[in-house]
Amino acid sequence: MEAVKLFAISLFSTALLSFVPVKKKYIVIDAGHGGNDAGVTFDGMTEKEIVLNIAKQIHEINESQEKYEVFLTRAADEYKTLEERTDKINELNPVMVISLHLNGTPEKDTQKQGYELFIQDSGDSKKIADKISQKLGNCSIAERNLHILRESKSPAVLIELGYLNNKKDRTYLSSEQGQKEIAQKFVDFFNEY
Ligand SMILES: [Zn+2]
């Protein structure tokens, strides 16, 4: 009787174990701004909307990948405080945090264009920034004291994906093809990391 019981228990626990999903490691994508905070704007285009589209594309393209689970700090046009974002990040303890933003200058139009990466420390965040720069091509990397970088316990980078008031950047960033291309490059980078 005792042996049968034990056998039953061990069968039961084996069955249970086989249903426990493999816990994936997280990568957090933080789409900047949201809700009443539009970020940089140009002719009705907003930073909050473009970075959200790219974040969602990253999430979608990554769905078919096994390696990491992409978590979005916001998946809709809603306002989240910086504290809410970093509290969630530190709860998830992700492999890395990538905060998406767009640049702008006070003039109507600017000749400035291209990617700009910010990090807070020169350890793993710097390595991640270097790899993103290789993937996207030619990003400038600088250290800056920003909440999301400072308060995230995981390696974190903030990337300005281009200037909304530069015609070339704006055309690319506001196009579906441009957004998909950027998202794909991030997912390719995750798979190599
Ligand atoms: Zn921003």
Q: What span, in angstroms and rounded, lies between the C-alpha atoms of 82 and 104?
A: 20
What average pLDDT is seen over the chain?
91
Could you tell me if residue 122 is inside a domain?
yes
Which band of pLDDT confidence, cut at 50, 70 and 90, is reported for residue 138? confident
Q: How many beta carbons lie within 10 A of that of residue 144, not counting itself?
A: 12
Residue 47 Cα to ligand 1 midpoint, Å, equals 7
CA 192/CA 67 separation, integer angstroms: 10
The average pLDDT across 63-78 equals 95
Mean local confidence (pLDDT), 118-142: 93
Q: What is the largest CA-CA distance in the chain?
A: 84
Q: Is residue 121 part of a domain?
A: yes
CA distance 40 to 58: 21
CATH code: domain of residue 162: 3.40.630.40
Instruction: Examine residue 130 and state whether it is found in any structural domain, yes or no.
Output: yes
What are the pLDDT digits (tens) for 46-66? 999 999 999 999 999 999 988
Tell me what pLDDT residue 10 has: 58
Query: Six-digit token pair at 101?
Result: 């933003």
Rounded to the nearest angstrom, the distance between the alpha carbon of 41 and the centre of ligand 1 is 10
The answer to whether 96 and 157 are in contact (CB under 8 A) is yes
Whether 34 is in a domain gets the answer yes
- At 72, which helix (H) or strand (E)? strand 68-72
- Percent of the chain clearing pLDDT 70 (strictly above): 88
What is the count of structural domains for the chain?
1
In a domain, 6, yes or no: no
In a domain, 81, yes or no: yes
Domain that holds residue 143: 26-192
Distance of CA 14 from the midpoint of ligand 1 (Å): 49
* H-only helix segments in the chain: 2-19, 47-62, 82-92, 124-136, 147-151, 167-173, 176-192
* Those residues with Cβ within 8 angstroms of residue 22's Cβ, 6 or more apart along the chain or in another chain: none
Tens of pLDDT, residue by residue over 32-49, are 999 999 999 999 999 999
Residue 137 counted as domain residue: yes
- Residue 98: what residue type? I
Residue 23 CA, ligand 1 centroid: distance in Å? 32
C-alpha 101 – ligand 1 centre gap (Å): 4
Determine the distance separating the centroid of ligand 1 and the alpha carbon of 59, expressed in angstroms: 20
Q: Is residue 14 part of a domain?
A: no
Whole-prediction pTM = 0.88
